[in-house]
Amino acid sequence: MSDAKTSLTKDPAPAAETKPVLSVDNLRMYFPVKTSGIIRRTVGHVQAVDGVSFEVGAATSLGLVGESGCGKSTTGRMVTRLYKPTGGEIKFEGRDIATLNARALMPLRREIQMIFQDPSTSLNPRHTVGTIIGAPLRIHKIVPRDKVLPRVQELLEVVGLNPEHYNRYPHEFSGGQRQRIGIARALTLNPKLLVADEPVSALDVSIQAQVINLLQDIQKEFGVSFLFIAHDLAVVRHFCPEIAVMYLGKIVEIGDRDSIYEAPQHPYTQALLSAVPDVKQAQVGGRRERIRLEGDVPSPINPPSGCRFRTRCPIAQDICARVEPPLLQIGKKHKVACHFPGVIGKHPEKPVTARLLGVDDEGRPDPGGSPADIGNAPGYADTWFDLENNSMGRA
Ligand SMILES: Nc1ncnc2c1ncn2[C@@H]1O[C@H](COP(=O)(O)OP(=O)(O)OP(=O)(O)O)[C@@H](O)[C@H]1O
Ligand code: SF4
Ligand SMILES: [Mg+2]
């Protein structure tokens, strides 16, 4: 049996170290499920987010995608500390903010802001746009009172709205314009990180592109980093150089744009992508074959053993029910959590992870096995598992 550690590939030219703005490590959020009545007992937990790790670099964007209920918003709400995580770390500029109390969080509220999905419910209908955008300036006493209005007008201009419309009410604007107001409000305090939770899902398709272009311009001008949450892979494709795919509270695949869109290795990513119109395929003729997933997403209160995707996976085997696949780095900027990673039609017959985990091909403990240390650390290492040579390994 060859040593698993020999099948790690080294990046020939490691990139210069740049510190991430956000580093999330093994983040968890379990919501208690309680009985009704006077004495409310906890009878279980919704494992909404269960051990998620990722990084967001300076002035760049990470897309977080997955079906409804997979834990995207909960992740975003923990990062902005609207929720206190059950466990794990949220390092913002190197400092763990996961357990900070409300007082210690105050200065951070300026640095991390959120853009919400539905602009009509996130803006107070009784306040003018000037009051809405100016509120953070007044609360945090950023500028003198007489400088609030000029700053509001400046922000309206930045998001492409008429600065003279500061005394109008939200209902006097269209859906796309209201989202621009939400973006202006999020920018008021010059944040370093914006968590955008489905910022364009409620908008017409024609307006979606305009708002995404605006976010792109803002990123270029102000160097803001984004955690961009979306249902589908088409929305994040052009905005996010890196994408994480979530399923039932876990990241199943994460990587740079080329890895995720051109060579996805996880059956779930492949299914999600098959639902996205493929421009390249259309150019050469024909359509990408649609992969239909059977069954419903299982309950996060009692998720399946082993791989959480196994109840819907077209290529699942015995090991998938016994052992959870680790999020294994398989490329310079590519990680996948599957025992049988491969492009469509080329998934290996045997689990590539068995030796690394010290189990046999069915997932039973292997007495002769020596498990490798596969951490769930955020970011990427400069060594990774080489899928092409996994049986023999390569220095
Ligand atoms: N406050 C809460 N209490 C209990 N369960 C919750 C709470 N918030 C979310 N959940 C559950 O946690 C899981 C993840 O929810 P979340 O809103 O993060 O999903 P999502 O990926 O954002 O979905 P969507 O695409 O529909 O917005 C779901 O099963 C949801 O029902
Ligand atoms: S680990 Fe098994 S069940 Fe999970 S995605 Fe891979 S093949 Fe499917
Ligand atoms: Mg959501």
What atom in ligand 1 is closest to the CA of residue 249? 14
User: Does position 214 have pLDDT exceeding 60, yes or no?
Assistant: yes
- 257 in helix, strand or coil? helix
- Answer yes or no: do 185 and 323 share one domain: no
Buried b or exposed e, range 60-87, using 16+ CB within 10 angstroms? bbbbbbbbeebbbbbbbbbbbbebebbe
- Answer yes or no: do 95 and 215 share one domain: yes
Going by alpha carbons, the residue nearest to atom 26 of ligand 1 is: 68
| pLDDT-above-90 percentage for the chain | 67
In a domain, 264, yes or no: no
In a domain, 109, yes or no: yes
Q: Which residues have C-beta atoms less than 6 Å from ligand 1?
A: 31, 46, 48, 66, 68-74, 231, 300
Mutate to test the pocket of ligand 2, among 315, 336, 357 (most ligand atoms within 8 A of CB): 315
What average pLDDT is seen over the chain?
89
In a domain, 391, yes or no: no
- Distance of CA 386 from the midpoint of ligand 3 (Å): 35
Q: What is the largest CA-CA distance in the chain?
A: 74
Going by alpha carbons, the residue nearest to atom 3 of ligand 2 is: 310
In a domain, 98, yes or no: yes
User: Does position 16 have pLDDT exceeding 80, yes or no?
Assistant: no
In a domain, 258, yes or no: no
Categorize the per-residue pLDDT at 367 as very low, low, confident or very high, splitting at 50, 70 and 90. confident
- Distance of CA 380 from the midpoint of ligand 2 (Å): 22
- 394 in helix, strand or coil? coil
- Answer yes or no: do 212 and 105 share one domain: yes
- Answer yes or no: do 105 and 225 share one domain: yes
At 256, list the tokens.
């740079």
pLDDT tens, position by position, 273-291: 988 776 555 555 555 678 8
Domain boundary, last residue among 247, 282, 316: 247
Domain boundary, last residue among 247, 277, 292: 247
- Answer yes or no: do 237 and 378 share one domain: no
Going by alpha carbons, the residue nearest to atom 1 of ligand 2 is: 338
Counting Cα atoms < 13 Å in the Cβ hemisphere of 100 gives 21
- Distance of CA 231 from the midpoint of ligand 3 (Å): 8
Q: Which of 265, 257, 236, 384 is nearest to 336 (CA)?
A: 265
Instruction: Check if the beta carbon of residue 236 is closer than 8 Å to that of residue 196.
Output: no
Going by alpha carbons, the residue nearest to atom 5 of ligand 2 is: 338
Q: Is the CB of 340 under 6 A from ligand 2?
A: yes
User: Does position 83 have pLDDT exceeding 70, yes or no?
Assistant: yes
Q: Is the CB of 267 under 6 A from ligand 2?
A: yes
- Answer yes or no: do 148 and 293 share one domain: no
At 311, list the tokens.
């109840």
- Distance of CA 179 from the midpoint of ligand 2 (Å): 39
pLDDT of residue 1: 39
What range does the domain containing 243 cover? 22-33+44-247
CA dihedral angle for residue 110, residue 116, residue 119, residue 122, rounded to 10 degrees: -60
Instruction: Check if the beta carbon of residue 181 is closer than 8 Å to that of residue 173.
Output: yes
In a domain, 83, yes or no: yes
In a domain, 280, yes or no: yes
User: Does position 303 have pLDDT exceeding 70, yes or no?
Assistant: yes
- Domain count across the chain: 2
In a domain, 257, yes or no: no
Going by alpha carbons, the residue nearest to atom 30 of ligand 1 is: 69
- Distance of CA 129 from the midpoint of ligand 3 (Å): 26
**CA 258 vs CA 39, 261, 265, 333: distances in Å:** 53, 5, 12, 10
- Answer yes or no: do 59 and 118 share one domain: yes
pTM of the model: 0.92
- Answer yes or no: do 233 and 153 share one domain: yes
Closest ligand to Cα 197: 3
- 168 in helix, strand or coil? coil
**CA 372 vs CA 77, 258, 348, 349, 389: distances in Å:** 34, 28, 20, 21, 17
- Answer yes or no: do 242 and 276 share one domain: no
What atom in ligand 1 is closest to the CA of residue 70? 21
pLDDT tens, position by position, 217-264: 999 999 999 999 998 898 899 899 999 999 999 999 999 999 999 999
- Answer yes or no: do 241 and 314 share one domain: no
- Answer yes or no: do 145 and 223 share one domain: yes
**Contacts for 271 with CB less than 8 Å, ≥ 6 apart:** 291, 292, 293
| pLDDT-above-70 percentage for the chain | 92
Instruction: Report the 10 Å Cβ neighbour count for 153.
Output: 18
CATH assignment of the domain containing 112 = 3.40.50.300
Buried b or exposed e, range 31-58, using 16+ CB within 10 angstroms? beeeeeeeeeeeeebbbbbbbbbbbbbe
What atom in ligand 2 is closest to the CA of residue 310? 3
- Answer yes or no: do 138 and 208 share one domain: yes
Q: Is the CB of 322 under 6 A from ligand 2?
A: no
Q: Is the CB of 244 under 6 A from ligand 2?
A: no
When pLDDT is averaged across residues 11-17 and rounded to a whole number, the result is: 51
